[in-house]
Chains A and B, each alone.
Chain A
Amino acid sequence: MTGGPKIQIRRVSKAFGAGARVMPALADVELDVAEREFVCLLGPSGCGKSTLLNIVAGFLSPTTGTVRVDGRPVTGPAPERGVVFQEYALFPWLTVTGNVEFGPVMQGRPAAERREVVARYLDLVGLRAHAHKFPAQLSGGMKQRVAIARALANTPAIVLMDEPFGALDAQTRETLQDELSRIQHLEHKTIVFVTHSIREAVYLADRIVVMTSVPGRVKQIFTVKLPEVRDRFAPEFTHYEAEITSVLREEVAKVRE
């Protein structure tokens, strides 16, 4: 473990548009994420949490402020920061195998090594049997698992996840939360996870960053002191949910005005 935080977000603000049509999305966000930490960004719709994630990913540049990873400023997307999208973003013309090995192909890894890596991560997400299918033949849950395998196969230090389970039904969602939890205990990545489900955040996160409504900034940070394997119905779990709900309710009310 190196000294200092893995991700440093300093005074980041973002505004879209120009002149009279300026739309502020983020204002003065300050956040540190430690190595191997699982941090959730939680907030009402439109609070800019996805924008913040996109900035950390390197897809957008902040209007002001900087994002540093391992001390170096972020200037664009890079394999050290893998991304999992809500819309899966699988390449429809490639099979599951083709998708998962995309990163290693970009890195120029030899075929034998790639085969190993693909096998390992497909096993990890339990999709080995579907290696030769195309994304169009998979269910939503399966697609997202492929997306996770694809991101992990590139051995990123950081995984950024933008409401990855948002498009799934409740059952699949909980199953994938369990799987993600299991995977994290094996892989120990630094994860930044955007969601608007309090339950999901309490289930998965080490720390929960509650954001204000637009323009988003950090409202409050909760440290979740629950055991590694969490029980959604334990009283401590529900206690966290209640506390965070009341904090969030203020911000949601502002959005509804």
Chain B
Amino acid sequence: MASLVSNVSTLVESGLRGPALAPRRALAFRLGAVAAFVALWSALAGLVVAFKLFNPIFLPGPWLVLGSLAELAAKGQLWAHVAATLERVAIGFGTGAALGVGLGLAAGHLRPVRDLVEPVVEMLRPIPPLAVLPLFIVWVGIGEPSKVGFITYATFFPIFLTTVTGVRQMDPVLLRAAQSLGARGFRLFVRVILPAALPDILTGLRLGVALAFFVIVISEFIAAEHGLGYLINDGRNFFLVPQMLGAAVVLGLLGYAGNGLVRLLERRLTRWQHPA
């Protein structure tokens, strides 16, 4: 174990982070690691086939996963499923975000709104949104509205809470400075409170996107005929594990892209936080 840890000189110079790598070298390292992972996976899958360890359908190699995705794409089905999932996430998240930010700003700023909304949020907050999914299905059936409504419900909470926090926990010194410079009422809100709350709001949005992708799958397992979640669960019937893995990977990519988009938005809107 001892030899795995850096020596004292390195530890006192740069801590456990280790010395910084040149960017080109770091990139090479990363690509190499991913390549090694894929290679290991392929090797394991190959071993299973070669030595007949168990039914190879349980550990398909990366080529099989890609193959099944390609097949679905060729048949024109992949896009339909991707689109279905994306649409639900987009509409659900969009609605949840609009409600969360809107209500959050109001609740953060205006006492009466807060007093009205706080009790309900307090009661619903500890309940995992997943637990409420069947209720949505009972209420609205197994069509689109139940899934979109569920995503809206799930994403509402983190966004609402971070928005309220962002508004309420802004630095009082900034507030006083703005007021002493003559800002009042609506203008104070738009020009001072809102920008100050923006980083927290954007963090909430990022959490919301992650949560949306996190929960969409389960609703597509239970009550859908299209979508990546449906593809995954449907694969169970005929042990189409490559399809299941493939759809999961695509889902991961979409989640990653969604997160990236919000981060991009974050960087543009809060450029003042990261100069140069």
Q: Do chains A and B touch in the complex (CB under 8 A)?
A: yes
> Using a CB–CB distance below 8 Å, which chain A residues touch chain B?
18-19, 58-61, 75-77
Let me know if B181 is at the binding interface, CB within 8 A: no
Contact between chains at B12 and A59 (CB < 8 Å): yes
- Residues of B contacting A: mostly: helix
Let me know if B13 is at the binding interface, CB within 8 A: yes
Could you say which residues of chain B place their CB within 8 Å of the CB of A18?
A: 22
Select from chain B the residue with minimum beta-carbon distance to A21.
B22
Annotate B1-17 by CB proximity to A: 1 below 8 A, 0 otherwise.
Answer: 00000001100110000
Contact between chains at A60 and B13 (CB < 8 Å): yes
Contact between chains at A77 and B13 (CB < 8 Å): no
Could you say which residues of chain A place their CB within 8 Å of the CB of B22?
A: 18-19
B contact residues, total (Cβ < 8 Å):
5
What is the total of A-B residue contacts with beta carbons within 8 Å? Answer: 14
Select from chain A the residue with minimum beta-carbon distance to B12.
A59
Select from chain B the residue with minimum beta-carbon distance to A16.
B20
Alpha-carbon gap, A38 to B8, bound state (A): 29
Alpha-carbon gap, A13 to B22, bound state (A): 22
Alpha-carbon gap, A60 to B8, bound state (A): 11
Alpha-carbon gap, A244 to B218, bound state (A): 72
Interface hits, B4-61 → A, CB 8 Å: 8-9, 12-13, 22
Could you say which residues of chain B place their CB within 8 Å of the CB of A77?
A: 8, 12
Give the Cβ gap from B225 to chain A, nearest Cβ, in Å: 56
- Residues of A contacting B: mostly: loop
Could you say which residues of chain A place their CB within 8 Å of the CB of B9?
A: 61, 75-76
Alpha-carbon gap, A18 to B22, bound state (A): 9
Could you say which residues of chain B place their CB within 8 Å of the CB of A75?
A: 9
Could you say which residues of chain A place their CB within 8 Å of the CB of B13?
A: 59-61
Could you say which residues of chain B place their CB within 8 Å of the CB of A59?
A: 12-13
Alpha-carbon gap, A154 to B255, bound state (A): 54
Select from chain B the residue with minimum beta-carbon distance to A19.
B22
Give the Cβ gap from B180 to chain A, nearest Cβ, in Å: 26
Give the Cβ gap from A66 to chain B, nearest Cβ, in Å: 16
Could you say which residues of chain B place their CB within 8 Å of the CB of A19?
A: 22
Could you say which residues of chain A place their CB within 8 Å of the CB of B12?
A: 58-59, 76-77
Give the Cβ gap from A132 to chain B, nearest Cβ, in Å: 30
Alpha-carbon gap, A76 to B13, bound state (A): 10
Give the Cβ gap from B252 to chain A, nearest Cβ, in Å: 35
Give the Cβ gap from B73 to chain A, nearest Cβ, in Å: 44
Alpha-carbon gap, A8 to B96, bound state (A): 67
Given A58-B12, A59-B13, A75-B9, 11 extra CB contacts under 8 A? A18-B22, A19-B22, A59-B12, A60-B13, A61-B9, A61-B13, A76-B8, A76-B9, A76-B12, A77-B8, A77-B12
Which of A18, A19, A59, A75 has the most B CB atoms < 10 Å from its CB? A59
Residue pairs across A and B with Cβ atoms less than 8 A apart, 14 shown, are: A18-B22, A19-B22, A58-B12, A59-B12, A59-B13, A60-B13, A61-B9, A61-B13, A75-B9, A76-B8, A76-B9, A76-B12, A77-B8, A77-B12
Give the Cβ gap from A48 to chain B, nearest Cβ, in Å: 16
Give the Cβ gap from B20 to chain A, nearest Cβ, in Å: 9
Give the Cβ gap from A89 to chain B, nearest Cβ, in Å: 12
Give the Cβ gap from A239 to chain B, nearest Cβ, in Å: 41
Closest 8 CB pairs of A and B: A59-B12, A76-B9, A77-B12, A60-B13, A76-B8, A59-B13, A18-B22, A77-B8
Give the Cβ gap from A83 to chain B, nearest Cβ, in Å: 10
Alpha-carbon gap, A148 to B236, bound state (A): 67
Alpha-carbon gap, A59 to B14, bound state (A): 9
Alpha-carbon gap, A59 to B12, bound state (A): 5
Alpha-carbon gap, A36 to B8, bound state (A): 28
Select from chain B the residue with minimum beta-carbon distance to A76.
B9
Annotate B155-190 by CB proximity to A: 1 below 8 A, 0 otherwise.
Answer: 000000000000000000000000000000000000
Annotate B126-166 by CB proximity to A: 1 below 8 A, 0 otherwise.
Answer: 00000000000000000000000000000000000000000
